[in-house]
């Protein structure tokens, strides 16, 4: 949990590429220079934010379904990042990629529910072999209204758009819904309404034939809200592919953390009602002398759990109350530790076979 005021802009999802490129990308990991090139080129390739330009190429349904299966249950780990300023600027992502010596293969974006997708920028990300994780934030309308159909038109358009892209994307709706710090959280939303809204959106995508979506149900780790049961918030295995966990190694929360103390209690509760694989969907380590050690603990914790697919690092500097500098390179030792661990053969594989 991070109590935060969101100023995130409109973000996009990854778009289409030819099958030949996908095969090449799998055999040739994305280099830091390719991200840098994308940063330089994006200003000329990207349409204005909010436009819905059409991709020039798409992947067939059979190719997408085959690729999706291998991405839902990968043999290696996802090295993910939520990078400040992306997609409005690729400069910081290019600098991070150069610093750690390996491109992330999963990028998270926080998108206000109801906003259109910028499909031109989608192509930029796809060209770098990166899969998007779209965190839809349903500030309005209310979850109860969405459950009753208030967003059906938007969801239908969104489903058709993503279907037409023809490449795998990860979608999350109402992350950290078990917390009380968002409008879609427990203070203003019932578990029944949340589940109903989730199923309604999922069904709209299914009816549209958008089979290229990996559905991520993303909860906050339970220690800040121990009295909120997760099971009533779960839509069911037919509606979920991955279980996301949001949790931070944060001294401001009191003491230091380990993977075992931070994530495993929530994992144990989730295992009472589903065997779906986990993704650490949002994490980071606060500054301090123990930061390099805790970065290593995060990598090791993911590697030691076969049912944890990887992590997404929240690479933002958020000064202020209840916030901190979550940047990987907040100090040189931490940056070197992260870079060294990221070179492991199980991390940062290209997003498609």
Residues labelled catalytic: 176, 282
β-strand pairing of 78-83 with 308-315: parallel
With beta carbons less than 8 A apart as the criterion, state whether 101 and 79 touch. Answer: no
Residue 131 and residue 312: Cα distance in Å, rounded? 12
Sign of CA dihedral 269, 274, 280, 282: negative
The encoded tokens of residue 188 equal 């203003």
Which of 328, 352, 281 minimizes the C-alpha distance to 135?
281
The Cα 1–Cα 322 span in angstroms is: 10
- Give the tokens for residue 227: 């009295």
- 175 touches 65 (CB < 8 A): no
Among all chains, which residue has been given the structure tokens 């291998």? 70
- Torsion over CA of 99, 103, 104 and 105, rounded to 10 degrees? 180
**Residue 104: Cβ-neighbour burial (10 angstroms; 0-12, 13-18, 19+):** buried
Determine which helix (DSSP H) or strand (DSSP E) holds 111, and give its type and residue range: strand 106-112
For residue 353, count other CB atoms closer than 10 A to its CB: 16
Q: What is the DSSP letter of 264?
A: H
């Amino acid at each position: 949990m991070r109590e935060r005021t969101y100023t995130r802009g409109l973000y996009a999802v990854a778009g289409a590429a030819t099958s030949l490129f996908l095969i090449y990308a799998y055999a040739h990991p994305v280099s830091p220079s390719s991200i840098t090139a994308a940063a330089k080129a994006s200003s000329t390739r990207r349409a204005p934010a909010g436009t819905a330009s059409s991709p020039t190429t798409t992947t067939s349904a059979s190719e997408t379904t085959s690729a999706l299966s291998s991405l839902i249950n990968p043999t290696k780990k996802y090295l993910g990042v939520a990078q400040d300023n992306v997609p409005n600027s690729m400069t910081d992502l290019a600098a991070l990629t150069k610093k750690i010596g390996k491109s992330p293969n999963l990028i998270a974006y926080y998108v206000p529910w109801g906003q259109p997708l910028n499909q031109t920028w989608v192509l930029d990300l796809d060209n770098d072999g990166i899969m998007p994780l779209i965190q839809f934030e349903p500030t309005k309308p209310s979850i109860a209204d969405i459950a009753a159909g208030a967003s059906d038109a938007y969801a239908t358009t969104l489903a058709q758009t993503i279907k037409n892209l023809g490449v795998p994307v990860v979608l999350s709706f109402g992350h950290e819904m078990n917390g009380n710090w968002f409008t879609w959280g427990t203070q203003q939303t019932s578990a029944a309404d949340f589940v109903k809204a989730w199923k309604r959106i999922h069904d709209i995508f299914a009816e549209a034939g958008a089979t290229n979506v990996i559905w991520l149900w993303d909860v906050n780790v339970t220690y800040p809200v121990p009295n909120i049961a997760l099971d009533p918030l779960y839509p069911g295995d037919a509606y979920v592919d991955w279980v996301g966990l949001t949790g931070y190694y944060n001294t401001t929360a009191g003491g230091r953390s380990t993977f075992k103390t931070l994530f495993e209690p929530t994992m144990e509760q989730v295992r009472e009602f589903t065997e779906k694989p986990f993704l650490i969907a949002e994490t980071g380590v606060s500054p301090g002398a123990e930061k390099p050690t805790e970065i290593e603990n995060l990598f090791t914790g993911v590697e030691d759990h076969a049912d944890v697919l990887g992590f997404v690092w929240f690479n933002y500097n958020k000064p202020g109350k209840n916030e901190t500098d979550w940047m990987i390179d907040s100090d040189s030792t931490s940056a070197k530790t992260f870079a060294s661990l990221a070179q492991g053969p199980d991390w940062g594989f290209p997003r498609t076979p």
